[in-house]
Structure 1
């Protein structure tokens, strides 16, 4: 099962209807929590999500709206008796902040801290790219292994059925029939997470080929000067990341509190997003992962 649960969508300051950041990705058997801002522990309750489902926590940068909920989440995991290892990934320059937040949490977890300082793999199936913000920031990409899609007509023509299909997949050939003869390459699905940043090569690399792209959309296109000053994206820029990268679904979030209605932001993103489906996230939305393309 793959599903994204939106725990919070507000930037900098929460509002009456939007909590600080928080995003939970169910990636088959692994649960990944991204950017737990204040109130994330309570939002997990509202979303009917057990903190015990969290195996990995990924922090893009150490501004408070992206990490001040960490002590509460970790403490809740201890309270709930979580025994599996929990891995926390974050920019190396935020080491002191993350350790201070961990110090505030109730001890008792099998906790592993993993600072990173450069683009590249950080865990099996997880990579980071550097973003362009006022402090060191990294976006995340989660990718499943590539696979094969069998073509039923070719299998039938080759006379391969039942358990022999699995055997062919494992061994690569069956008699004179090769795996390539009856199947095609299927790229692994990709999830990309882009938070506080201006347009940059790292954000473009994360968006490239993403099946589900989550990106900040702090400002409207009309407030582009503010976006540039604070190194954030406008809605149109968020859409362009999806459009140029060929993303299938774009989820907009991290909205400034100046926008009561984010419909305008969604419309601006759709104008530049190409064929991507655009969703303006609301707190507690549950977004299923798109099917294979």
Structure 2
């Protein structure tokens, strides 16, 4: 069954609170499980969320500040303990290689999971999206790309993009006399030639289907690359450590406000903005939603809470606005 959803495992920034664990986000994409920034306590959060460690196929670390990576030690051990049956690929900034190695083997355990590290050099992702993985999921092409962000240490933003395709139109297929294996050939080649010499192009019997996009922008000041990562995203998961009243503090510490996250979403044409990575100075998150909505008026704004499960918006479903989060976030 096709499942595309974000499981929120933690929404705190540097220090966890009573209501927020360190960072952690699992994006289910059909048969893939992308685990972003596993902070301290992530393996326990997985258990509470009812998620198996073996659902994880990729781990994406933006940078090596503790709230974005300390959970890698526990996850590494859990993958081995649970006998993960498939390889797990870990992507991270190359400058943090020594921290990656320390976390992977932080204590004694029987390391029997197949885990592959993929250091990404900052120069490769400075000005243009740099594709670091691609494959087919549920018969559709999928690509994972990165761009550098503006933080105090080398930091990567991630973008998952489904290749554009076609939605077949049954009535037009029938009118053209196409059925069975020839339709697969049409999808592969873009055209078929019938016995009578007639040529049928895919655009004659199908309509273009835009691929879905998810962007993950964490720990950064406003920068061009943040906008590029979020371009046309169905879901933008974006740090909003501070409110606008602390804008200078955000800039000094290499972070965004909720308003700035909304500016990225608006200019990039995103559909859903998921705010997260909240400073412990704020007990509630309703003000984050209010602030973001003043700017991002065309899409949905959500202040993420630990254990939220957020489905990716359907491609053709109209945008709607979500209610503000009135509970401690």
Q: Give the TM-score normalised by the residue count of structure 1.
A: 0.95
Q: Distance in 1 between matches of 2:84 and 2:55?
A: 9
Q: Which one of 128, 149, 158 corresponds to residue 146 of structure 2?
A: 128
In structure 2, what is the equivalent of residue 78 of structure 1? Answer: 80
In structure 2, what is the equivalent of residue 91 of structure 1? Answer: 93
SS in 1 for 2:105: helix
Q: Give the TM-score normalised by the residue count of structure 2.
A: 0.85
Q: Does residue 183 of the first structure (1) align with residue 206 of the second (2)?
A: yes
Q: Distance in 1 between matches of 2:182 and 2:100?
A: 51
Shift in Å, 1:159: 4.8
In structure 1, what is the equivalent of residue 284 of structure 2? Answer: 261
In structure 1, what is the equivalent of residue 12 of structure 2? Answer: 10
- Residues 152-200 of structure 1 show CA distances to partners (whole Å, capped at 9, x for unaligned) of 5544554545665444323423433211122232221111100000011
Shift in Å, 1:149: 2.2
SS in 2 for 1:81: coil
Q: Does residue 235 of the first structure (1) align with residue 258 of the second (2)?
A: yes
In structure 2, what is the equivalent of residue 279 of structure 1? Answer: 302
Q: Distance in 1 between matches of 2:216 and 2:278?
A: 15
Q: Does residue 270 of the first structure (1) align with residue 293 of the second (2)?
A: yes
Does the CA-based 8 Å contact 1:215-1:253 persist in structure 2?
yes
- Residues 27-71 of structure 1 show CA distances to partners (whole Å, capped at 9, x for unaligned) of 111111000000100000000000011111100000000000111
In structure 2, what is the equivalent of residue 246 of structure 1? Answer: 269
- Residues 133-153 of structure 1 show CA distances to partners (whole Å, capped at 9, x for unaligned) of 000000001111211123455
Q: Distance in 2 between matches of 1:204 and 1:280?
A: 20
Q: Does residue 170 of the first structure (1) align with residue 180 of the second (2)?
A: no
Structure 1 unmatched ranges of 5 or more: none
SS in 2 for 1:38: coil
Q: Distance in 1 between matches of 2:297 and 2:177?
A: 42
- Residues 63-115 of structure 1 show CA distances to partners (whole Å, capped at 9, x for unaligned) of 00000011101111111111311111111111111111112153222111111
Does the CA-based 8 Å contact 1:250-1:278 persist in structure 2?
yes
- Residues 112-135 of structure 1 show CA distances to partners (whole Å, capped at 9, x for unaligned) of 111101211111111001000000
Q: Distance in 2 between matches of 1:212 and 1:259?
A: 24
Q: Which one of 107, 110, 116 corresponds to residue 114 of structure 2?
A: 110
For these two proteins, the number of residue pairs brought into alignment is 293
In structure 2, what is the equivalent of residue 29 of structure 1? Answer: 31
